[in-house]
Amino acid sequence: MSALFSPIDLRGVALPNRIVVSPMCQYSAEDGRATDWHMLHLGHLALSGAGLLFVEATAVEADGRITPADLGLYDDATEAALVPVLAAIRRYSKSKVAIQLAHAGRKASSYVPWEGGQQIPVAQGGWVTSAPSAAPHKDGEEAPAALDAAGLARVRDAFVATAKRAVRLGFDAFELHGAHGYLLHQFLSPLANQRTDQYGGSLENRMRFPLEVFDAVRAVVPADKPVGIRISATDWVEGGFDVEQAIAFALELKKRNVDWIDTSSGGVSPLQKIPVGPGYQVPLADAVKKATGLPTMAVGLITDAQQAEDIIASGKADFVALARGMLYDPRWPWHAAATLGGEVDAPPQYWRSQPSDQKQLFGKTVGGAR
């Protein structure tokens, strides 16, 4: 049996394979509300046969959006907008659906990527961002406001409120976004966190707020639903957050029964030097898995079926999560199954599409129409 197409359980959620569609920001929401684009985009990917499908990073408060066009889940209107999208996925797809709860911190108030992606000044319609410290992401940007005790409580409560809405919507799995230079990562990294109170300085202190948020979210998610976290296991900057600190953080999360560590990297500093190449972040997932025994997701330039199979078969990670590769080839799991001798679920409307030499692809043999 193909390792990539072997089943696995996350608490009470049974997944038929180890393929994950990563959360991918679409910058196509209206005041945080999902639109027809989300129906098309997620509906398309829901037919891929992947075991787990993430919607994009979803802001827990309006000021936590990366851009004004980010998806949110922080009021009744944003909750209602996701109802028809999820209903369509449920009707036609067997993929489990996950949500990534996010807050951009000091990287909020930005233009969408195709408009340059830079910070929107307050005078031009942006907003004052929040962060561990009043230090901008890069020189020339407006400084964020350092979160005080009330601000920390507000953000933590926003994560909880969004988690409750996601539970009500029926999501199967939940992930905190603690990577890519966004708020929870900003607390973890000494490059962004310059606090001198109990939330800054030592690694123990820098972990404190992300762990508080995790505990608060885990407390409101049903016990049979898994909760994981995405981390940047290294900042790729000397003196920043690194894999040893990431392992220490993961061990603290293990005490709290975290269900997986989605292992990415970078994003907190423009000084980063990332050695980009095929599977370049897989060693980070491998290191975290070996040191903690926790399930890990490997991400980053995983594009080839045999490459993905080898990652799972060798025990370097328990899942492979694809983003750009899935956008380029939304039927990537079908093609991987054909290559590796696996089987995927597909809607009956597509059963006749399987090639004559791949009749096992969907586990179905379908005759022609009269």
| 119 φ, ψ (degrees, to nearest 5) | -60, 140
Active-site residue (options: 27, 182, 199, 328): 182
Give the integer Cα–Cα distance in Å for 313 and 154: 43
Whole-angstrom distance, CA of residue 194 vs CA of residue 186: 10
**How many Cα atoms are found within 13 Å in the side-chain-facing hemisphere of 180?**
18
**Helix/strand/coil for 119:** strand
| H-helix or E-strand spanning residue 102 | strand 96-102
The answer to whether 277 touches 301, Cβ cutoff 8 Å, is: yes
Distance separating alpha carbons of residues 234 and 245, to the nearest angstrom: 9
> Locate tokens 């009269």: which residue?
370
Contacts of 324 (CB under 8 A, 6+ apart): none
For residue 100, give the DSSP letter. E
Q: What is the rounded end-to-end Cα distance, in angstroms, of the chain?
A: 36
Amino acid at site 286: D
Please tell me the distance from the alpha carbon of residue 91 to that of residue 89, in angstroms, as a whole number: 5
> For strand 296-299 and strand 319-322, is the pairing parallel, antiparallel, or unpaired?
parallel
Helix and strand numbers, DSSP H then E, in the chain: 10, 12
Q: Write the CB contacts of 5 (distance below 8 Å, at least 6 apart in sequence).
A: 16, 17, 18, 336, 337, 340, 342, 343, 344
Among candidates 178, 173, 154, 153, which has minimal Cα distance to 163?
Answer: 173
The reply to whether 182 belongs to the active site is yes
Residue 91: both structure tokens together: 């009707």
Residue numbers annotated as active site: 182
